[in-house]
């Protein structure tokens, strides 16, 4: 029997999904599990988006253009314009989810052994794409004590080597909810210019900013050849299953290269591109209600968390995640214990241990990520349950 | 300005799509272009497949299971059963097209620098996936004179090195249409057992066999831990734009590894999985009409080709491609000339130069691939046009 590859062996499993069997077992025992662990919104996908697919009349489900339907890419010009981003349709390559956008960006810009600096904690699947592309993620640690603000320039510069090719940020951030300020974006720009680095910017949560403006990396001037934005409609329109994202950049050399990766896999999904195109036509006020709902949930969640003795949760400025420090010995143990050994009035909560979001071993052991993708009543019950759990958790410190 | 990667530079462009601008220019001049160049079927996607999506009633387009919906995977058990393939739903991981299945297979089984032996000519995008995975494709040449039969064992063994980890076949074959016999499949099995290699089998065209039975690699006994099948619904149901494929294997170690790659990209497209599941329910006779149509087209195409002076086209046993040897100096020049400088009664033909399907430099210069995805009347007109073109082509030899 031949051996699988080292890459196949070292590919990291999803740190979030490893708790799933424990959640399933809890449910089988009749326990209600509040899912604060994954970024799957409970908000309904807008009806016109689903209807566009359901009312379609084509006869052959054929390949689209490898860069995505031109009609969709042309429509996206007006979408980006709303954020003061000026791009033409040839500067957008539609991908199969934001996932593929990240992989194409890594592949086109970095060679095996190259390094990309990422503020930690970060979206855990970056590790997987890095393994696929055989590149190294070099973390720069941000701290819960500063609300996960951008680490100082000196911390970045300490990590820069001849192998460093890029900095990758997620803004607003998953998992911290942190929203980078204009000043912080300017700092990133200066580092990238000084050290000739690409700036990869994952902007999956662009619409969801509550306490300040969202500065896209594409809003930075004089950085056109450095910036590559990874985009996705997954969270924006509660359309995670569409698998439609995009690589957006002004850098023609990158576009030409990404196009070759796009051609190899032929095309992004056709049904979902119809949905994505319809989504661009949603009225401007579509996000008002959604944002208000997420903001109310955040306010309830953060306020209740900070009332629990020993808990600290900085107020996140965007996305729909919060990171909290808990008075516990080990987040992985605690999250498993919640599902396996605890219930309060037949309820428990599923959280993501923060350890999976840090690359530096040992960090995040007292932190968990909470996704506020359940309604406010459920959030309130979940926080009561968490409070009760912390009172009796054997590993409380 | 930072440089893109070597990988991004060396990634091969699609050899098929480079002629597209010439075809567009010809059409602008009012010339009818018969598209025999790409594997996009003109057959309509079955109505129940499209209706399943159009009549869906879900409210949230959410992520599916990373391995694909369990209901779909369970249904596929019965699909494979029809081909005497016994798998359970945990041995199937649904992918975003056959493309992703190939990439996952390469990533899970091969490390950078590893080699996979592939009979040439082969599907050109294997080169792209090999570049992404940093592996080497080592060609073993099959010849148009034997109808592209499997090369002798000795030819394979000459290419085996300590780096060789797998053999990759496509059966029935794209681009040759060749259908491997049971005896040939047994030969491949012996080589894989003797040298401890994986057998990757791309079976995108399983249904389309005209002169003999289709032997899946999964029909081989005693090779369970070696065989990895790459599957797709694209051609089967004229659903290229769905982007639904699968990795199918009995090897649990590979499944565990592929699952990690699948988790990193979250899930395959949700709309299209509904379509794919409905497709499994099509009546068994669905393929009878489609197969008869393709077979008639093949018969017309091959017969007309062989009547053109100086042309030789072996009869392909499956898929919907034929490879022909033409009396020309250079297939790339000829195919471009057809679009740029030739027309007959305001018509011309678009073909794929075979050079893009060979890894060995210099091979395929007198060969072209023809995809019979247009109707018989158009095929007849296209062959008349090709005959006229060959009469006056300046590079005729």
Question: Model ipTM?
Answer: 0.96
The pLDDT, as a whole number, for residue A47 is 98
Question: For the whole model, what pTM was predicted?
Answer: 0.97
Of B14, B97, B271, nearest to A263 by CB-CB distance is B14
Query: How does pLDDT run across B312-357, given as a tens digit for each residue?
Result: 999 999 999 999 999 999 999 999 999 999 999 999 999 999 999 9
The pLDDT, as a whole number, for residue B191 is 98
Query: How does pLDDT run across A200-215, given as a tens digit for each residue?
Result: 999 999 999 998 899 9
B-chain residues near A109 (CB < 8 A): 2, 4-5, 8
The pLDDT, as a whole number, for residue A39 is 85
Query: How does pLDDT run across B217-268, given as a tens digit for each residue?
Result: 999 999 999 999 999 999 999 999 999 999 999 999 999 999 999 999 999 9
The band of A162, judged by pLDDT with boundaries at 50, 70 and 90, is very high
Q: Is residue B69 over pLDDT 90? A: yes
Query: How does pLDDT run across A353-396, given as a tens digit for each residue?
Result: 999 999 999 999 999 999 999 999 999 999 999 999 999 999 99
Of B13, B49, B58, nearest to A263 by CB-CB distance is B13
Quick check: A114 and B5 CB within 8 A? yes
Q: Which residues touch B362 (CB under 8 Å, ≥6 apart)? A: none
The pLDDT, as a whole number, for residue A217 is 98
Q: Is residue A16 over pLDDT 90? A: no
Query: How does pLDDT run across A25-76, given as a tens digit for each residue?
Result: 999 999 999 999 988 899 999 999 999 999 999 999 999 999 999 999 999 9
The pLDDT, as a whole number, for residue B240 is 97
B-chain residues near A267 (CB < 8 A): 240-241, 243
Mean pLDDT of B2-26: 92
Q: Which residues touch A386 (CB under 8 Å, ≥6 apart)? A: A305, A308, A349, A351
Hey, how many other C-beta atoms are within 10 angstroms of the C-beta on B188? 26
The pLDDT, as a whole number, for residue A361 is 95
Under 8 Å between Cβ of A203 and A231: yes
d(CA A150, CA A199): 14
Identify the residue among B2, B131, B193, B230 best suited for mutation to test binding to A, counting A beta carbons within 10 A and taking the highest: B2
The pLDDT, as a whole number, for residue B39 is 85
The pLDDT, as a whole number, for residue B337 is 98
Query: How does pLDDT run across A236-271, given as a tens digit for each residue?
Result: 999 999 999 999 999 999 999 999 999 999 999 999
The pLDDT, as a whole number, for residue A1 is 87
Strands (E), chain A: 32-35, 92-95, 115-120, 136-141, 164-170, 198-202, 227-232, 245-248, 321-325, 347-350, 352-353, 367-371
Chain A, nearest residue to B11 by Cα? A260
Domains of chain B from N-terminus onward: 6-44+286-392 (3.90.1150.10), 47-280 (3.40.640.10)
Hey, how many other C-beta atoms are within 10 angstroms of the C-beta on B154? 7
Query: How does pLDDT run across A104-121, given as a tens digit for each residue?
Result: 999 999 999 999 999 999
In 3D space, the residue among A174, A290, A293, A201 whose CA is nearest the CA of residue A237 turns out to be A290
A-chain residues near B107 (CB < 8 A): 5, 7-8, 11, 132
Of A59, A128, A258, nearest to B44 by CB-CB distance is A59
The band of B103, judged by pLDDT with boundaries at 50, 70 and 90, is very high
């Amino acid at each position: 029997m031949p051996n699988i590859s080292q890459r196949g062996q070292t590919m990291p499993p999803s740190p979030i999904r490893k708790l799933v069997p424990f959640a399933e077992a809890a449910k089988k025992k009749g326990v209600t599990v509040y899912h604060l662990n994954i970024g799957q919104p409970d908000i309904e996908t807008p009806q016109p988006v689903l209807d566009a697919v359901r009312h379609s009349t084509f006869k052959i489900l054929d390949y689209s253009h490898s860069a995505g339907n031109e009609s969709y890419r042309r429509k996206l010009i007006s979408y980006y314009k709303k954020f003061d981003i000026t791009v033409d349709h040839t500067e957008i390559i539609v991908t199969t989810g934001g996932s593929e956008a990240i992989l194409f960006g890594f592949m086109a810009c970095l060679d095996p052994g190259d390094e990309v600096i990422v503020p930690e904690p970060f979206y855990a699947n970056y590790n997987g794409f890095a393994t696929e592309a055989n590149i190294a993620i070099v973390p720069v640690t941000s701290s819960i004590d500063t609300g996960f603000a951008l680490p100082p320039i000196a911390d970045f510069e300490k990590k820069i080597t001849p192998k460093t090719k890029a900095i990758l940020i997620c803004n607003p951030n998953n998992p911290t909810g942190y929203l980078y300020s204009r000043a912080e974006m300017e700092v990133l720009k200066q580092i990238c210019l000084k050290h000739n680095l690409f700036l990869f910017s994952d902007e999956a949560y662009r619409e969801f900013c509550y306490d300040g403006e969202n500065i896209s990396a594409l809003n930075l001037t004089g950085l056109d050849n450095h910036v590559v934005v990874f985009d996705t409609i997954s969270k924006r329109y509660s359309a995670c299953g569409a698998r439609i994202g995009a690589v957006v950049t002004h850098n023609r050399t990158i576009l030409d290269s990404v196009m070759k990766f796009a051609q190899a896999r032929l095309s992004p999904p056709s049904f979902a591109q119809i949905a994505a195109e319809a989504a661009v036509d949603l009225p401007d006020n579509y996000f008002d209600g959604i944002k208000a709902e997420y903001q109310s949930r955040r306010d309830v969640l953060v306020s209740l968390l900070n009332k629990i003795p020993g808990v600290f949760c900085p107020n996140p400025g965007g996305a729909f995640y919060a990171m909290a420090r808990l008075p516990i010995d080990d987040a992985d143990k605690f999250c498993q214990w919640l599902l396996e050994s605890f219930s309060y009035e037949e309820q428990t909560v599923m959280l993501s241990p923060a350890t999976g979001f840090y690359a530096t071993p040992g960090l995040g052991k007292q932190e968990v990520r909470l996704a506020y993708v359940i309604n406010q009543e459920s959030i309130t019950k979940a926080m009561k349950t968490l409070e009760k759990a912390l009172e009796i958790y054997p590993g409380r410190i």
